[in-house]
Chain A
């Protein structure tokens, strides 16, 4: 078991009072497993992703990563965890504007001391970024920037890739291509993936789909409604 989320609760204070965002989440994720996380807006998907990424702290419960308890991590351990164990692909890309595409791609890998020039070059080639490596993020389109963000995450070879609506800013064709790459490259690199998405079409391409409703995980079938009868088989790639 790579990740074991155990009865995690998370709430935020608001002007109207305490808002319970996650209410007793339990989720297991195996190594190399690719899982889609779906749910309505405001259901707590991004919050769960932030907790898994070590960006935020939960109120109760625990998250075990390779049997290490995130609850016991201090600021320094959280930073180490983000640097070496997980990679996050955000909707807003979060590239470093003043670094070139090449420098952005290898940055995380070098931070994690896992830089491998051949692997980085392979990623650049397969993501179609060869012509842009000397450019800066602001000179790229949204789709190109998303591919750079993906390359940066995969170049560091984290055990777990967390993707928060990675195609939210992209058109359908580009989005499909990005998902193809995530699935293909994660398989080749042997990584686990948890991807937040609103798109049924994309979700069904993952090994498994889990659905969040008002802070609680429901069964996988409910992710698409009873009548949809989606193909829930663990169809990969």
Chain B
């Protein structure tokens, strides 16, 4: 009986393959986008974890200097003597031809087990296979001069051209952009002799050891963390991606809801017949449940494959974004990971259950004696519309309350969700009202019928129109956000990059010589010197600034005290970036702890878009006092614009500099803008995909309800309106509904943009952007929506125009 019932249920799909395709494709597309995003996130997180795990840090506490500075060998030895067993590491940044590498110097003899997945082995085992299938490296080779740089194959190309570096050993246990080497080699490379800045706490501690602060009060113990610095920084970016993936999934669910709803509606007669013939309700529900499970599994598998393809296409852009925004290194290739397979399948099953729950419930409650004629599909009664309106208002109030009292990224996304969902729920009411108003202005009887008929179609099309509303609002919101960001960023670049040339010398001696050479040839030579440090507990950098009008006139200050620059150059004040200000709530006048036990009051806050780190600026003299070994190779050169190119050529020739060591302002700007555009390439791609899914939703809705339209159109045709005119009106109807939807999408999208700029960005990245308006972009999106609606309506309209009159007569006389 179960098998027979299932066979009967499945026969529906054989007769309606298009509907089956819609359902599977809708769910597959929705799952695909979700899965794609999950795959990207999983890949990135795996890269971060690998970076930590291979250095044996993820599960161990570390000791660092409170000010982020160096730890002397003397302190290290003292710690050992008191029972603190640690393994020293030196970490720093090395620039090779404008590419930044994170150098990690390790001490393999004291390092905890598991380092580099066993890549470094006793000399006798050199060449043996590691668990990862690589050949081991003998410890003698690693330790003895000239040493070895262990790098990811992606990094090899840049390093290969450097003849003054130790030989390289390629290994995938190291993340791209990271160089692992012996600590003594790292000290040479980073010009930090006899230094270390991280002590990894080993497992074999002596229980009687005194507390750390009694041995060295300038050090602090950092507990083991699953998440690394980089995964904390990039968390916001991944949450953004996840939110976008979820939005696409939600839009896709509207398609699934529509297809499932229609299938249930069309099978009411069948369900009733089966019940009449003695199939128990529970058997029937079980059969429908199994049918849905199979469909969801097939669609989920399709979605996972699609997700893999999407992720493979988008991952290089995402990797570039993460590198550009955060300096995080993510491999550009994709692995199949069970986490996102499982997540994709789970979301497909959960989505189907969610989309089908209402219909399944109604079917289980279907009275056996109900009229067999199918009701109009998804016909929402007045009470449904009132219910939706009430739910929308509740969500709106909830969102507003959260906006006032809540804070943080998750709250930001909940507010976004409430906004979008309430807008979707209010849409049928808005459309019905607008159509009623339009009907009031029409005189011709055909036009009056058109408005009334359009109003009747709203419930059937409302799910697809809601999907369109969400997609349009997301597009308007995100494009406004990106546009605002672009405008602000370009203006900010003009302020920040006001010098004409940016130069990086090969050595400190060369830099000193170059500065004296430039004294007579340029208006000013300004240092760009910085050192890593911890600022108010945040990982950050301190820059030194000299006294020059170019800073006073151009530096993008968000708020300042009146004599800010005077105090900074006098060494009596510090400038901080917006990120540090927002993360630590440091205000003007507050005191910031700085290296060597110094403290300075905050005298201004400046915007610093695109930088994930906390940053402070002090007088360059102070910086030199705090860090005598400061690297002094980079500086900016101010001179008239028309002399910049000639001087750049002169410097390259005179000092034998590579092209990238002398960069003109316009080249830096172009590069920055290119990084910016690449950053939002992923967002653009997701935008287009979401809009495509919404257009598909409208198309499938129109196609699937086209047959149900015949009984409504046949009487009008019988009364003398031609098929051609009816078909034209069908297209006009779709375009009008899309137009009304686009009108509502505009304020919703702008509200979304405001939330992204003022709430989400602040929580995620630490900076707030002014909102700009882009009416041309809105018109373009509106135009796309109208064209998509017209195209979606074209096929059903053509079919209507070609319906044989005999068929319409048959429908009209109810001889179906």
Flag if A82 contacts B15 (CB, 8 Å): no
Nearest-neighbour CB distance to chain A for B598, whole angstroms, equals 82
Interface contact A111-B273, CB-CB below 8 Å: no
Q: What's the minimum C-beta distance from B110 to chain A, rounded to whole angstroms?
A: 74
What residues on A are CB-neighbors of B8 within 8 Å? 96, 98-99, 107
Known: A94-B269, A97-B270. A107 touches B15 (CB 8 A): no
> CA of A90 to CA of B12 in the docked complex: distance in angstroms?
22
Question: Are the CB atoms of B276 and A88 closer together than 8 Å?
Answer: yes
B279/A96 in contact, CB under 8 A: no
| B124 surroundings in chain A (CB, below 8 A) | none
Q: Is A56 an interface residue (CB 8 A)?
A: yes
Q: Is B74 an interface residue (CB 8 A)?
A: no
Nearest B-chain residue to A99, judged by Cβ: B11
Given A55-B368, A111-B1, A98-B14 contact (CB < 8 Å): yes
Q: How far is the CA of A27 from the CA of B511 in the complex (A)?
A: 114
Contact partner of A80 (CB less than 8 A), chosen from B14, B274, B278, is B278
**Chain B proximity of A139: nearest CB distance (Å):** 11
Interface positions, chain A 31-71, Cβ under 8 Å from B, are 50, 53, 55-56
Q: How far is the CB of B4 from chain A (nearest CB, A)?
A: 6
- With contacts A94-B269, A95-B273, A107-B4 taken as known, whether A75 is within 8 angstroms of B11 at the C-beta atoms is no
Given A107-B8, A138-B816, verify A94-B278 contact (CB < 8 Å): no
- Chain B residues near A30 (CB-CB < 8 A): none
Contacts known (A94-B272, A136-B15); A82 close to B277, Cβ less than 8 A: yes
Q: How far is the CB of A170 from chain B (nearest CB, A)?
A: 12
Asked if B815 is an interface residue, CB under 8 A from chain A, the answer is yes
Q: Does B710 count as interface, using CB distance less than 8 angstroms? A: no
Cβ B12 vs Cβ A108 within 8 A = no
Residues of A within 8 A of B14 (CB): 98
Let me know if A98 and B15 touch, CB within 8 A.
Answer: yes
Minimal Cβ-Cβ distance residue in A for B11: A98
Q: Give the distance in Å from the alpha carbon of A75 to the alpha carbon of B12 in the complex.
A: 26
Within 8 A of B (CB), among A164-189: none
Asked if A198 is an interface residue, CB under 8 A from chain B, the answer is no
Residues 80-124 of A at the B interface (beta carbon under 8 Å): 80-84, 88, 90, 92, 94-99, 103, 107-108, 110-112
Q: Does B372 contact A (CB under 8 A)?
A: yes
Asked whether B132 is an interface residue with its Cβ less than 8 Å from the other chain, the reply is no
Give the most central of B16, B277, B280, B816: most A CB within 10 Å.
B277
- B4 partner, pick from A53, A56, A92, A110, beta carbons under 8 A: A110
A79 CB contact (under 8 Å) in B4, B12, B15, B278: B278
Cβ contact of A98, chosen from B270, B276, B277, B279, cutoff 8 A: B270
B280, A97: Cβ atoms under 8 Å?
A: no
Decide yes or no: A111 and B15 within 8 Å by CB, A55-B368, A96-B270 being known contacts.
no
User: From residue B283, how far is it (CB to closest CB) to chain A in Å?
Assistant: 8
* Inter-chain contacts of B1 with A (CB < 8 A): 83, 111
Contact of A96 among B274, B280, B815, B816 (CB under 8 A): B274
Contact assessment for A107 and B369 in the assembled complex, using a CB-CB cutoff below 8 Å = no
Q: Give the interface size class of chain A.
A: 20 to 34
Closest to A106 in B: B4
Most buried by B among A75, A79, A82: A79
B281: Cβ under 8 A from any A Cβ: yes
Q: Smallest distance from the beta carbon of B528 to chain A beta carbons, Å? A: 74
List of A residues within 8 angstroms of B280 by Cβ: 75-76, 79
Cβ-based interface call for A142 (8 A): yes
| Nearest CB of A to B264, in Å | 13
Q: How far is the CA of A48 from the CA of B278 in the complex (A)?
A: 18
Shortest A82–chain B CB gap in Å is: 4
Q: Return chain B residues, CB-CB under 8 Å to A141.
A: 815
* Contact pick for A111, options B16, B272, B277, B369, CB 8 Å: B277
- Chain A residues 136-157 with CB under 8 Å of chain B are 136, 138, 141-142
Query: Which residue of chain A has its CB nearest to the CB of B283?
Result: A79
How close is B285's CB to chain A, nearest CB, in angstroms? 12
Tell me, in angstroms, the Cα distance from A97 to B373 when the chains sit together: 12
- Closest B residue to A56 by beta carbon equals B369
Cβ contact of B281, chosen from A50, A75, A138, cutoff 8 A: A75
**B808–chain A nearest beta-carbon distance, Å:** 16
Which residues on the A side are within 8 Å of B269 (C-beta)? 94, 96-97
- A50 / chain B contacts, CB cutoff of 8 Å: 369
* Inter-subunit contact A98/B368 (CB<8 Å): no
Quote the shortest CB–CB distance from B790 to chain A (angstroms). Answer: 31
Q: Is the CB of B278 within 8 A of A103?
A: no
Residues of B within 8 A of A103 (CB): 11
Give complex CA distance A63, B758 in Å.
72
Cross-chain contact of A55 among B274, B369, B372 (Cβ < 8 A): B369
Closest Cβ of chain B: how far from A20's Cβ, in Å? 18
Please, which residues of chain B bring their CB within 8 A of the CB of A95? 273
Contact with A along B1-43 (1 / 0, CB 8 A): 1001000100110111000000000000000000000000000
Closest chain B residue to A149, Cβ basis: B273
Residue in chain A with minimal CB distance to B371:
A92
CB within 8 Å for A112 and B278 given contacts A55-B369, A94-B372, A96-B8: yes
- Complex formed: what's the CA distance from A40 to B12 in Å? 38
Contact partner of B278 (CB less than 8 A), chosen from A82, A90, A97, A138, is: A82
Binary per-residue interface labels of chain B (243-280) against chain A in the complex, 1 for a CB within 8 Å, 0 otherwise: 00000000000000000000000010110111111111
CB distance from B275 to the nearest CB of A (A): 8
Q: What 3 pairs across the A-B complex have the smallest Cβ distances?
A: A83-B278, A82-B278, A98-B11
* Other A-B pairs beyond A82-B276, A96-B270, A107-B4, 19, CB < 8 Å: A55-B368, A55-B369, A79-B281, A80-B278, A81-B278, A82-B277, A82-B278, A83-B1, A88-B276, A94-B269, A96-B11, A98-B16, A103-B11, A107-B8, A107-B277, A108-B277, A110-B4, A111-B4, A136-B15
Interface of B with A (CB < 8 Å)?
1, 4, 8, 11-12, 14-16, 267, 269-270, 272-281, 368-369, 372, 815-816
